[in-house]
């Protein structure tokens, strides 16, 4: 089987994105495991390479991703212009090139030129200056990749926290919730745990919205009117789902360790405990899309830009997770393929690899 082709969007050129990319890909073993394809500019990469002195980083410059090298890093030149890099600051230029890199990588992902996408961090203010019409990567990719729904999922090892709502002001969260939305996210969570993480019978904990999970309706009605009915209905259908749990006690007592996934109602309810437990090593995975997309769990970190102090651990984890999920999806598809199609694979001629034959 060909090596998995991992597309990488460079994110904000004024942040630490390219630093963690170069530090990760400077390890020659990475190119033994996958075919990395960076969407950016050799000029920008050379600039950042000189700052952090990564001598081992070797790459091939390409105009398109149609014929990448399989034994070294590839760089698709999304633009030829000289770029004004202003380290540590949000600029329109930084937003424009981050948008251009992401757009071209997304097009190639949709066209099948890459198998998965790892996105380096963007700055939302810079992206807005560049007329990026979304609140983040998740919303953009859901729209551009034809996803009917998606789930923002933070992952480190066995800790997996999903969000019902993503980038919403806190005052808008309660109004955005509905029984149908909670059920949709639980179903999607259950599906991704099975397909993308290979868990046959996933267990999912659902958090409440209000303090003490509403205290039987004394502190808000969302738990009794929306969340609990969603959990009960899906449990009756056979899903291993429990809740709603009070968020503070749930994490304080380490109950998350008993579940394959935890569903939070809003951004900070999920990300505060996740980053407390896993910051610097976690991965953001957009579940539910027809394509695989991961990213590191940190932002542009302007305060570290150009100082050669950024830790590449989270980006490296995102790269490995993109490979793992791609493999898991292929395995799942093979296992659930139409038996007649499997059997027909035995008659493809003498050049067929015997390891790919299906036993009767």
Structure confidence by residue, pLDDT tens digits, 78-87:
988 888 999 9
pLDDT for 359 equals: 33
Q: 316 and 206 in one domain?
A: no
- Spatial distance between the Cα atoms of 214 and 200, rounded to a whole number of angstroms: 32
Distance CA(311)–CA(135), nearest Å, equals 26
Indicate whether 323 and 194 sit together in one domain.
no
Residue 250 confidence (pLDDT) = 97
230 in helix, strand or coil?
Answer: helix
Q: Are residues 261 and 308 in the same domain?
A: no
Q: 233, 252, 282 — which closes off a domain? A: 282
pLDDT at 357: 30
Q: Write 246-255 long-range contacts (CB < 8 A, 24+).
A: 246/207, 246/208, 246/211, 246/212, 246/213, 247/207, 247/208, 247/213, 247/273, 248/211, 250/205, 250/207, 255/205
Structural contact between residues 100 and 277, judged by C-beta atoms closer than 8 angstroms? no
What's the confidence (pLDDT) of residue 338? 64
Widest distance between CA atoms in the chain: 71
pTM over 0.85: yes
Q: In the prediction, which pLDDT does 349 show?
A: 39
- Mean pLDDT of all residues in the chain? 91
Q: Do 217 and 126 lie in a common domain?
A: no
pLDDT at 355: 37
Give the pairing of strands 151-156 and 159-163. Answer: antiparallel
Question: Residue 26 and residue 355: Cα distance in Å, rounded?
Answer: 33
Bridging pattern class, strands 240-245 and 203-207: parallel
pLDDT, one tens digit per residue, over 124-182 is 999 999 999 998 898 899 899 988 889 999 999 999 999 999 989 999 999 999 999 99
Kindly state whether residues 155 and 261 are assigned to the same domain. Answer: yes
* CB-based contact 229:245 (threshold 8 Å): no
**pLDDT confidence band for 353 (50 / 70 / 90):** very low
pLDDT at 356 over 80: no
Both 159 and 276 in a single domain?
Answer: yes
CA angle 199, 202, 205 (to 5 degrees): 145
Q: Give the rounded percent of residues in the chain with a pLDDT score beyond 90.
A: 82
Q: Which residue has the higher pLDDT, 28 or 155?
A: 155
Host domain of residue 276: 150-282
Do 156 and 130 lie in one domain? The reply is: no
For residue 230, the model assigns a pLDDT of 98
Domain boundary among 282, 297, 322: 282
pLDDT classification of 341: cutoffs 50, 70, 90? low
List, for residues 101-131, the tens digit of each pLDDT value: 999 999 999 999 999 999 999 999 999 999 9
Structure confidence by residue, pLDDT tens digits, 268-303: 999 999 999 998 899 999 999 999 999 999 999 999
Total tally of structural domains belonging to the chain: 2
Give the CATH number of the domain where residue 20 resides.
Answer: 3.40.718.10
pLDDT tens digits, residue range 176-217? Answer: 999 999 999 999 999 999 999 999 999 999 999 999 998 888
**Claim to verify: residue 143 and residue 154 sit in the same structural domain:** no
Distances in Å between the Cα of 247 and the Cα atoms of 155, 195, 232, 267, 274 are: 18, 27, 19, 13, 12
210 phi and psi angles, rounded to 5 deg: -95, 165
Q: Which of 254, 282, 310 is the endpoint of a domain?
A: 282
């Amino acid at each position: 089987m060909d090596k998995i082709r991992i597309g990488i969007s460079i994110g904000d050129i004024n942040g630490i994105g390219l630093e963690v990319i170069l530090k990760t890909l400077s390890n020659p073993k990475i190119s033994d495991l996958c075919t990395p394809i960076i969407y950016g500019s050799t000029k920008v990469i050379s600039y950042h390479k000189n700052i952090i002195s990564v001598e081992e980083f070797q790459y091939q410059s390409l105009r398109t991703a149609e014929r990448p090298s399989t034994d070294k890093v590839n760089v698709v030149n999304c633009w030829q212009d000289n770029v004004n890099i202003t380290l540590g600051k949000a600029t329109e230029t930084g937003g424009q090139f981050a948008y251009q890199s992401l757009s071209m990588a997304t097009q190639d992902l949709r066209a099948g030129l890459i198998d998965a996408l790892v996105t380096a961090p963007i700055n939302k203010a810079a992206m807005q200056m560049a007329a990026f019409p979304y609140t983040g990567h998740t919303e953009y990719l859901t729209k551009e990749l034809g996803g009917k729904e998606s789930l923002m999922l933070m992952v480190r090892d066995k800790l997996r926290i999903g969000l019902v709502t993503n980038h919403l002001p806190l005052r808008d969260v309660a109004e955005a919730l509905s029984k149908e939305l909670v059920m949709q996210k639980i179903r999607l969570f259950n599906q991704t745990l099975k397909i993308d993480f290979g868990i046959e019978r996933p267990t999912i904990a659902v958090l409440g919205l209000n303090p003490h999970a509403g205290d039987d309706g004394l502190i808000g009605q969302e738990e009794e009117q929306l969340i609990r009915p969603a959990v009960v209905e899906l449990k009756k259908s056979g899903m291993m789902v429990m809740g709603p749990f009070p968020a503070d006690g749930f994490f304080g007592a380490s109950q998350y360790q008993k579940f394959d996934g935890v569903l939070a109602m809003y951004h900070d309810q999920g990300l505060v405990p996740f980053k407390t437990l896993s910051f610097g090593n976690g991965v953001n995975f957009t579940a539910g899309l027809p394509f695989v997309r991961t990213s590191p769990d940190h932002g542009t970190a302007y305060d570290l830009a150009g100082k050669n102090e950024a830790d590449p651990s989270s980006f490296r984890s995102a790269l490995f997770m993109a490979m793992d999920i791609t493999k898991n999806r292929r395995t799942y598809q093979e296992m659930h393929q139409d038996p007649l199609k499997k059997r027909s694979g035995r008659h493809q001629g003498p050049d067929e690899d015997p390891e790919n034959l299906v036993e009767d």
